[in-house]
Chains A and B, each alone.
Chain A
Amino acid sequence: GNSVTQMEGPVTLSEEAFLTINCTYTATGYPSLFWYVQYPGEGLQLLLKATKADDKGSNKGFEATYRKETTSFHLEKGSVQVSDSAVYFCALRKISATSGTYKYIFGTGTRLKVLA
């Protein structure tokens, strides 16, 4: 079945450090891929997306590249800030071949804590 696996947290970094959060997926075809961010007490917000192989999504200094060959969509940022402290979710949107409907499947989330 379809699934998303992301690295266990929490991840603790110092300000200005380089961030990588790994995400791999299992799905047939070419699902759309997403990273969402959740700040304390809030809902999920879209951070970036990619809809086809080799697409690079980017936003607010974060980047992720859709790698079909490794079924991965790792999140990176060159220099994190304290304000980036949040929970990050990797997700995919998969269309059912039988019903034509789609749904989103999420990873378990990775908590990032950035220290000043």
Chain B
Amino acid sequence: DAGITQSPRYKITETGRQVTLMCHQTWSHSYMFWYRQDLGHGLRLIYYSAAADITDKGEVPDGYVVSRSKTENFPLTLESATRSQTSVYFCASSEAYRGYPEAFFGQGTRLTVV
């Protein structure tokens, strides 16, 4: 299916465990982003990538790791999950051209750390 998909949709993990959230897009967009959504904070940028093998930190990168070896995939790894990382995570992608400036979002992954 065309679009941007995240997996899993729901995940419960224990404190200290490593967990990876997957993001896949079929448009070959240059840019990909990871946000977390928390009540009262809106969406906060964790990491973003301008192209394969190019990643950069966003507003709240601590405790997270990303990689982008292929244009279509942008996994987000929590190396040692903490309760403060309980959140809804959204992946997004966009093209670099000025004529199409909008970002497209996945359905989100609801992560609970117990």
Contact B106 A43 (CB under 8 A): yes
Q: Contacts A43-B108, A101-B56, A103-B33 given: A32-B101 contact, CB under 8 Å?
A: yes
Q: Does A25 sit at the interface, judged by CB under 8 A?
A: no
Q: Which of A11-19, A64-72, A76-84, A106-114 contacts B (4 or more CB under 8 A)?
A: A106-114
Return the contact of A93 from the options B43, B50, B56, B101 (Cβ within 8 A). Answer: B101
Contact A51 B42 (CB under 8 A): no
Q: Does B12 sit at the interface, judged by CB under 8 A?
A: no
Docked CA distance A89–B102 (Å): 13
Docked CA distance A109–B105 (Å): 16
Contact B101 A103 (CB under 8 A): no
Q: List 25 A-B contacts (CB under 8 A).
A: A32-B98, A32-B101, A32-B102, A34-B101, A34-B102, A43-B105, A44-B90, A44-B92, A44-B105, A46-B102, A46-B103, A46-B104, A49-B101, A49-B102, A51-B101, A89-B42, A89-B43, A93-B94, A93-B103, A102-B31, A102-B96, A103-B33, A104-B45, A107-B42, A109-B43
Interface residue range, chain B:
20 to 34
Contact A104 B42 (CB under 8 A): no
Which residues in window 80-112 of B have CB below 8 A to A?
90, 92, 94, 96, 98, 101-108
Measured CB to CB, the closest approach of chain B to A108, in angstroms, equals 4
- Which chain B residues have a beta carbon within 8 Å of chain A's beta carbons? 31, 33, 35, 40-43, 45, 48, 50, 56, 58, 90, 92, 94, 96, 98, 101-108
Contacts of B90 in A (CB 8 A): 43-44
